[in-house]
DNA sequence: GGGACATGTCATCAGTTGGTGACTTCTAGG
DNA sequence: CCTAGAAGTCACCAACTGATGACATGTCCC
């Protein structure tokens, strides 16, 4: 009768792989490792779940590959050093949490307690988060300062996840943003 | 032959209920809502899983009841105001994470991304964590300061969960503890 | 045009989960 | 002692999960 509204999926292994990877990234970020099923990801892409196991080997391997191609902390380390606190605090307290920027945090926070995902998260967050941050900070106590910064960033994300912002009004969110920015900048510039 | 080493469980509904509640609290704290099965809890107590559903109605109701009887933030609000930062920072950075003190945080952090547990956590963390903390802080911007404190506490716990401390040695942990204590105290005493 | 291979689907499996109703067993009160 | 009801168990269900091997289909090259 009518032609299909969405173009017929043309066979293309590379494109399908990428589509699976992106759908998986979104799912893992929004639902966490345990709560996303291969069938969910497959139906997002419009493909059979068996294909995912065939392409990636299994759910754990898929998760590992998602981590390696997820956005990392580099974005926040670009730009001037003095602006770091404001950039991060704005993202944490003001910007809508649907942004792609949050995906790495969300994946880590929502999947960290899953034993099958924990090892990959530990390894990846060390390589793609802590080590770059520590190197960027520099100085002898960089590891400790990186840890404090990480506490603030993860804690802020976790708080928003739990409370969905409904405890703070707009002006309070700006206050929170200022407080976070000042604290972040303090640990960027000074000694711990 | 030999008398049973552990005393034979004598039938006592109240004691069994309490035992289930405690086992459930430990399980939810260590594994999170989704990953703890009723059968796990039941076998910890030495009882059949069906009994849990019969006593509590279901897993969700059990979780709610666990939350209401879990230790809350009150413990940290006792004692002198100036010592708050050190008390909390020591717990966060130095003390072993197996302590009961962590259970509320662990339950929240490990179960927050589970839709069935989220509502209960949001409600309970508001009543048993934020509101007491906010009231204890006092002042006009208490809500914002409570949020910053909460970011630090949850973030520190989350970081330890992910990295199991293996990124920091003892002297770095003391530095981290100092930095956290100073920052916590800052938001306890001053305006945001 | 017609194989041949890559691409994707289907049916199905074993394991796990929360939940339910029928059953057994213990114990307190008469 | 002995029975009624509480306390606890058992067998089972339906739903879901990740995974696998057999099968179907599209596409490209000769």
- Residue A5 is predicted with a pLDDT of 39
pLDDT at B191: 66
| pLDDT tier at B4, thresholds 50, 70, 90 | very low
Residue of B nearest to A116 (CA): B35
CA of B57, C1' of D12: distance in angstroms: 19
Is the minimum distance from the CB of A38 to strand D below 7 Å?
yes
Q: Which whole number is the average pLDDT over B136-164?
A: 95
Q: Which of A118, A130, A155 sits opposite B167 (nearest CB)?
A: A130
> What pLDDT is attached to residue B167?
78
B51 touches strand D (CB under 7 A): yes
B135 min Cα distance to partner chain A (Å): 14
> Least CA distance to B183: which residue of chain A?
A183
Strand C contacted by A46 CB (< 7 A):
yes
Q: For residues A78-92, give the mean pLDDT.
A: 95
Q: What is the pLDDT of residues A127-153, one digit of tens each?
A: 999 999 999 999 989 999 999 999 999
Distance in angstroms between the alpha carbons of the first and the last residue of chain A: 69
Which tokens belong to B104? 């509320």
Residues from chain A contacting residue B187 (CB–CB below 8 Å): 179
Say yes or no to pLDDT of A8 above 60: no
CA dihedral A91, A96, A99, A104 (to 10 degrees): 60
The two three-digit tokens of residue B103, written as one number: 């259970």
What average pLDDT score do residues B59-84 get?
A: 94
The residue of chain B with its CA nearest to that of A157 is B151
Confidence of residue A192 (pLDDT cuts 50, 70, 90): low
- Residues near B169 by Cβ (< 8 Å), separated by ≥ 6? none
Residues 124-153 of B with CB within 7 A of strand D: none
**A167-189 pLDDT tens trace:** 799 999 999 999 999 999 999 99
A30 close to A106: Cβ distance less than 8 angstroms: yes
Cα distances from B47 to residues A16, B42, B125, B145, in angstroms, run 49, 5, 30, 45
The reported pLDDT for the residue numbered A99 is 84
Q: Test A113 with B141 for CB contact under 8 angstroms.
A: no
Between B35, B180, B183, which is nearest A34 by CB? B35
State the nearest Cα–Cα gap between B28 and chain A, in angstroms.
Answer: 11
Tell me, in Å, how far CA of B138 is from C1' of D14? 53
For residue range B14-64, what is the model confidence (pLDDT) as tens digits? 999 999 999 999 999 999 999 999 999 999 999 999 999 999 999 999 999
Contact B41, B20 (CB under 8 A): yes
Establish whether the CB of B48 is closer than 7 Å to any nucleic acid atom in strand D: yes
Q: What is the pLDDT of residue A71?
A: 87
Q: Give the span between the Cα atoms of A27 and A44, in whole angstroms.
A: 9
Domains of chain B: 13-67 (1.10.10.60), 74-189 (no CATH)
Instruction: Round and report the angstrom distance from CA (B12) to C1' (C27).
Output: 10
For the stretch A115-134, pLDDT in tens is 999 999 999 999 999 999 99
pLDDT-based confidence at A166, cuts 50/70/90? confident
Give me chain A's average pLDDT, please: 92
Q: CA–C1' span, B68 to D3, in Å?
A: 40
State residue B8's pLDDT score: 54
CA angle B121, A89, A149 (to 5 degrees): 80
**What is the pLDDT, as a whole number, of residue B134?**
95
Which of A52-75 are b and which e, b meaning 16 or more Cβ less than 10 Å from the residue's Cβ? beebbeebeebbbbbbeebebbee
Residue A80: is its pLDDT beyond 90?
yes
Give pLDDT, residue A191.
66
Q: What gap in Å lies between CA B169 and CA B164, rounded to an integer? A: 11
Helices in chain B by DSSP H: which ranges?
13-31, 38-45, 49-56, 59-69, 74-77, 84-93, 103-111, 115-125, 131-137, 142-163, 170-189
Distance of CA B72 to the CA centre of its chain: 7
Contact (CB, 8 A) for A30 and A3: no
Q: Which residue of B has its CA nearest to A117?
A: B162
Q: How confident is the model over B95-109, as pLDDT tens digits? A: 998 888 899 999 999
- Whether residue B187 contacts residue B148, with contact meaning beta carbons closer than 8 Å, is answered with yes
Q: In whole angstroms, what separates CA A52 from the centre of its chain? A: 22
Show the CA angle centred on residue B172, arms to residues B168 and B175, nearest 5°: 140
Average pLDDT over residues B174-180: 97
């Amino acid at each position: 009768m009518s032609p299909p509204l969405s173009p017929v999926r043309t066979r293309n292994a590379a494109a399908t792989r990428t589509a699976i990877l992106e759908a998986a990234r979104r799912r893992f970020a929004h639902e966490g490792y345990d709560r996303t099923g291969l069938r969910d990801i497959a139906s997002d892409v419009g493909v059979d779940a068996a294909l995912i196991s065939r392409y990636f080997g299994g759910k754990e391997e898929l998760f590992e590959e998602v981590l390696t191609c997820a956005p990392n902390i580099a974005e926040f380390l670009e730009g001037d050093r003095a602006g770091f606190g404001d950039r991060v605090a704005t993202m944490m307290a003001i910007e809508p949490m649907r942004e792609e920027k949050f995906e790495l945090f969300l994946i880590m926070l929502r999947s960290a307690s899953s034993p099958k995902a924990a090892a990959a998260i530990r390894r990846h967050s060390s390589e793609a988060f802590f080590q770059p941050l520590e190197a960027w900070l520099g100085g002898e106590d960089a590891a400790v300062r990186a840890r404090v910064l990480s506490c603030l960033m993860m804690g802020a994300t976790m708080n928003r996840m739990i409370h969905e912002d409904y405890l703070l009004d707009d002006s309070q969110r700006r206050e929170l943003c200022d407080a976070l920015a000042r604290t972040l900048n303090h640990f960027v510039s000074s000694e711990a």
